[in-house]
């Protein structure tokens, strides 16, 4: 791998208390020492902080007052020498320091290159590296806990154990084939092979059973608020967000475009989308908004379909019910503080097994029941992030599905009494697929693609 020294700004750009320029590589400490006026960093103990000044080597003038941390290999994130220059927050100061650093024999880091070096140097495996980005992007405490457990190596250890079981099984078959004269080696029978493959199969199945929950925690539920104009969609959005994000008026058709926000409902991140009211209209702008609403309806993981307690069901409402026939939705009957004109029995018949929640957003009634219904719909109650190993990454889920299919093929072969050396091809393939999750058998192209999605400086 590259041994050159890299640098990047590792804090978000903008005003703040501090900003950090990070360096990593063989010459990181020497380069930082060249532009630092203070203690000799080359003789500084590892994992120490030092006050001083950054001097511009071209003008020999003061550029910034800083605190510099020195961390020596191998006890660093990248397992290389790492220096972090802590300067005052602000665009000018941190960019000035970075420009001075790059005047030396230093290359600008690529997106995710610090984490990539940690992976290539054996500090973390590929699943742990991906968990770093998951933690940065986490929208709720539970999503962050899942990422933390993965960073800590919980998934890696489980995958490693499954791969070891498969490897021992394959090795056992090979020994029986190549050295049949060894009496002290247990013969790998069809039944023993079934037991070994079934153990791994069941572990993979457990991971996949909670994978959808993990994916939701990582990415959030795309939740569309759908209904005719003026049923309270924007009011519901504002109630979830707890601020006036969407304009609320008594005039139908106020919302002309979609408004999207992340909200936390019982630990579940929702990508909440307030849509334009769906109705027949001649207004060109509103018509575009209605078409977008219909598109979002089809793409959503969950639909909150709002009706008005004070109005009878219309043909537009019936059309929405028809469009949602194969989708996951909750019916919300809003404005329960007004006189009832809606036929509730008709709604129950149309909704079937889908939940129906009665609310008055204006009176702040029914929201707790709605949140409970949403959580139960996807998590059958509360979410446990402490004991379970959640798989939340789409790439991991797809690889686990492939591994499960490979083991299914192996078990079917055993049921058909196929020779063990033929069955072990599928078992070996499963071992390779699981290796892609932690990076043991991943291609260079895949690794480059994954790390290119990271933010700069991470």
Contacts of 296 (CB under 8 A, 6+ apart): 224, 226, 258, 273, 275
Whole-angstrom CA distances from 157 to 136, 354, 420 are 22, 40, 28
Q: Classify the C-alpha dihedral 139-143-147-152 as positive or negative.
A: positive
CA within 13 Å, CB half, 24:
26
Query: Per residue of the chain (458 residues), what is the pLDDT tens digit?
Result: 457 999 999 988 878 889 999 999 999 999 999 999 999 999 999 999 999 999 888 888 898 999 999 999 999 999 999 999 999 988 889 999 999 999 988 999 998 899 999 999 989 888 888 888 787 777 777 777 777 888 888 889 999 999 999 988 888 777 666 555 554 445 557 888 888 899 999 999 988 887 777 777 777 788 888 888 888 888 888 888 775 444 333 434 444 345 778 787 777 778 887 765 554 554 554 455 556 666 777 778 888 999 999 999 988 888 888 888 888 899 999 999 999 999 999 999 999 999 999 999 888 899 899 888 887 877 654 455 455 566 778 888 899 999 999 999 999 998 898 988 888 899 999 999 999 998 887 777 767 777 777 676 67
Whole-angstrom CA distances from 37 to 64, 72, 81, 254 are 10, 20, 20, 61
Whole-angstrom CA distances from 264 to 137, 141, 186, 406 are 14, 9, 55, 38
| CATH 3.40.50.300 domain residues, the chain | 219-379
Give domain 132-210+390-441's CATH number out of 1.20.120.430, 3.20.20.80, 3.50.50.60, 3.40.605.10: 1.20.120.430
Whole-angstrom distance, CA of residue 51 vs CA of residue 292: 56
Give CA 29 to chain center in angstroms.
Answer: 34
| CATH 1.20.120.430 domain residues, the chain | 132-210+390-441
| CATH 3.30.1360.120 domain residues, the chain | 6-109
| Phi, psi angles (nearest 5°) of residue 225 | -95, 115
CATH superfamily of 6-109: Probable tRNA modification gtpase trme; domain 1 (3.30.1360.120)
Whole-angstrom CA distances from 230 to 63, 69, 309 are 58, 57, 12
Tokens at residue 213, please? 């929950």
């Amino acid at each position: 791998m590259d041994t050159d020294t890299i640098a990047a700004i590792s804090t978000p750009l903008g005003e703040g208390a501090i900003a950090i320029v990070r360096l990593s590589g063989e010459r990181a400490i020497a380069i930082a020492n060249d532009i630092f006026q203070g203690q000799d960093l080359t003789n500084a103990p590892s994992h120490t902080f030092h006050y001083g000044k950054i001097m511009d080597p071209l003008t020999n003038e003061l550029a910034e007052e800083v605190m510099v941390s020195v961390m020596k290999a191998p006890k660093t994130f990248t397992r290389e020498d790492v220096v972090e220059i802590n300067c005052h927050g602000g665009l000018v100061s941190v960019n000035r320091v970075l420009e001075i650093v790059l005047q030396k024999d230093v290359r600008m880091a690529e997106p995710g290159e610090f984490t990539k070096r940690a992976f290539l140097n054996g500090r973390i495996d590929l699943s742990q590296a991906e968990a770093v980005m998951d933690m940065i992007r986490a929208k709720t405490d539970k999503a962050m806990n899942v990422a933390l457990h993965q960073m800590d190596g919980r998934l890696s250890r489980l995958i490693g154990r499954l791969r070891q079981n498969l490897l021992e099984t394959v090795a056992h078959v090979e020994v029986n084939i190549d050295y049949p004269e060894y009496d002290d080696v247990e013969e790998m029978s069809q039944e023993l092979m079934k037991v070994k493959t079934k153990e791994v199969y069941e572990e993979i199945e457990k991971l996949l059973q909670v994978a959808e929950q993990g994916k939701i925690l990582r990415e959030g539920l795309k939740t569309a608020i759908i209904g005719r104009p003026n049923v309270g969609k924007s009011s519901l959005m504002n109630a979830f967000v707890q601020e006036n994000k969407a304009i609320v008026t008594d005039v139908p058709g106020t919302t002309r475009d979609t408004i999207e926000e992340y909200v936390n409902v019982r630990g579940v991140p929702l990508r909440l989308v307030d849509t334009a009211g769906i109705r027949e209209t001649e207004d060109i702008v509103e018509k575009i908004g209605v078409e977008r609403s219909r598109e979002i309806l089809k793409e959503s993981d969950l639909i909150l379909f709002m009706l008005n307690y004070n109005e009878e069901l219309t043909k537009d409402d019936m059309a929405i019910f028809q469009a949602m026939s194969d989708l996951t939705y909750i019916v919300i009957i809003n404005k329960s503080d007004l006189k009832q004109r809606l036929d509730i029995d008709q709604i129950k018949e149309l909704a079937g097994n889908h939940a129906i929640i009665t609310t008055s957003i204006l009176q702040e009634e029914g929201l707790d029941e709605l949140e409970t219904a949403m959580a139960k719909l996807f998590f059958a109650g509360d979410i446990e992030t402490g004991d379970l190993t959640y798989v939340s990454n789409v790439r991991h889920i797809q690889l686990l599905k492939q591994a499960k299919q490979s083991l299914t093929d192996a078990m079917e072969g055993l049921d058909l009494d196929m020779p063990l050396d033929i069955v072990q091809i599928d078992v070996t393939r499963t071992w390779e697929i699981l290796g892609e999750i932690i990076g043991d058998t991943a291609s260079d192209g895949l690794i480059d693609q994954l790390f290119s999605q990271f933010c700069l400086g991470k």
